[in-house]
A and B are shown apart, each in its own frame.
Chain A
């Protein structure tokens, strides 16, 4: 018999995080109201949603620092309720607010942290030197942390989370509060991690961050998952290819709706503008002008995750 050409069988990557009907209550407040999530090895997975959507609560449950109220959760194949320390030994966690030891040096922060993971002094020294390079902090290694810029502190927090070569890296709002330049530098570092095969889970309320970093994401709102998919899938499913933005003096935009409503698949009314969802933005603009619609300014752009969120929830992500 001749050997038969068979397409290589790709075994699916193992599931690192599996949540089923996962809930979290704080007293009467239901922060997470039954979510189902699966994250496989090698993925960059995102939770996109506004503040208060339940993203951080979910992250804290996955990082085994917050016991779940109900539902199923397994992380690295283990149960956080019974195996918290074993799971945490293999995680990297970047919290929403930096909790560096600001009275220690940059290097000492990495050293003391690495020791908590059972690493020897010599391993920690080597690893710290490597991570200082990665975080571009080598020339600050022996400076105290306190006077560093926000971007540097954030890079140090990320470097610290990598000290144990984690199987899974959890990043809670990694670039919130940073200036654009610092954000781009961080994204570039995170992208490198992703390329090297580290599994990432990211929460963010910035749609550009989600688009840049995530292979797959869920849109969260009010403790529930509103939609799931890759950024482009979500945009295709919940939005049109283009968006025409018409800007008006606040308060006058409502009156214009009847004259443009048939020019688009969908019209969203925001406080200062109308969003017309259509395949052909320029065409819609020309048609609107032909009907004597006179906006203060107009803009044709591609749809983003912001539009997806607006469609799903009727609200904007960042106020």
Chain B
């Protein structure tokens, strides 16, 4: 078959650039709308640290369970992970459904040289960047409130982002299969909130009844909390650390495989 000579200026961009262009689009949106999200990403850690760390924490004696730290300091690295996973859930639900159904912006992108898989990668990369920026804000606020024990807490940041992405990837995939927002309420109510309360951020999971502990083990939040807290207080050991990291990476990889599949299935029918 002969190719028809072209007068068009359009070209196929490389895969990495395609993903970055997706990020660029989200950034264009964010530049216009950052205020509301910035306020909540600042306010949320302040409220949590004040209520749980300072308020509730005043009733908790530093002891063996808190590694000898004040409750506020004990809590801070774990809360970085908790808020990262929560933010990841927000960014991976309504925003995704909107791009499919309400705004339909994925449908606009898919008639350009960009592929459904690249749209998915761009979306996930953007979520990762949002998690990085809100975790940085969180740590800065924590430092101002005196909730930081030392530089080790900086290691909580990559672990929090990884835990967030490990959850975001399968949730984005799930969102790509939805026609309505109904499932999201259940996700928040029955997955995210219990995960927040019972996976070791506020108290060690050894306090849970034995049969409930395996439920905590399968959540990305528990692995993230273990990593972040261990790194912050220098108590992390190599083998458990590798196991936690491995679990989060596998979860992210499974989410990525599913997300790519569901984006293709939905956008190329």
Contact = CB atoms under 8 A, between A and B. Distances in A.
B112 A88 contact: yes
A62 B3 CA distance: 16
Interface string A69-86: 000001011110000111
Contacts of B110: 65
B189 interface: no
Q: How large is the interface on B (under 10, 10 to 19, 20 to 34, 35 or more residues)?
A: 35 or more
Given A89-B113, A113-B108, A76 B7 contact: no
Interface of A: 14, 16, 26, 41, 63-67, 74, 76-79, 84-86, 88-91, 93, 95, 97-105, 108, 111-113, 115-119, 123, 160, 164-167
Contacts, number: 120
A163 to B, nearest CB: 8
A160 B109 CA distance: 11
Contacts of B29: 101, 103-104
Given A97-B104, A118-B113, 8 more contacts: A67-B268, A79-B1, A84-B115, A89-B12, A101-B103, A101-B105, A115-B24, A118-B11
Contacts of A98: 104
A102 B29 CA distance: 10
A85 B267 CA distance: 14
B108 A100 contact: yes
B126 to A, nearest CB: 13
Choose among B8, B107, B109, B268 the residue with the greatest number of A CB atoms under 10 Å from its CB.
B8
Interface of B: 1-4, 6-13, 17-18, 21, 24-25, 28-29, 32-33, 103-105, 107-115, 267-269
A95 B107 contact: yes
Contact of B8 (A64, A99, A104, A165): A165
B83 to A, nearest CB: 25
Nearest to A170: B111
Contacts of B115: 84-85
A79 B1 CA distance: 9
A115 B21 contact: yes
Contact of B11 (A41, A76, A89): A89
A168 B111 CA distance: 13
Given A76-B3, A99-B107, A117-B112, A86 B12 contact: yes
9 contacts: A14-B2, A66-B269, A90-B10, A103-B103, A117-B9, A117-B112, A117-B113, A119-B10, A167-B7
Contacts of B33: 103
A116 B13 contact: yes
A245 to B, nearest CB: 41
A108 B7 contact: no
A104 B109 contact: no
B56 to A, nearest CB: 38
Nearest to A91: B111
Given A16-B4, A103-B29, A113 B112 contact: yes
Contact of B28 (A93, A99, A112, A123): A112
Contact of A65 (B12, B104, B111): B111
A77 B8 contact: no
Interface centre among B2, B28, B32, B115 (most CB of A within 10 A): B28
A27 to B, nearest CB: 11
A134 to B, nearest CB: 16
Contact of A99 (B2, B12, B18, B108): B108
Contacts of B11: 89, 117-118
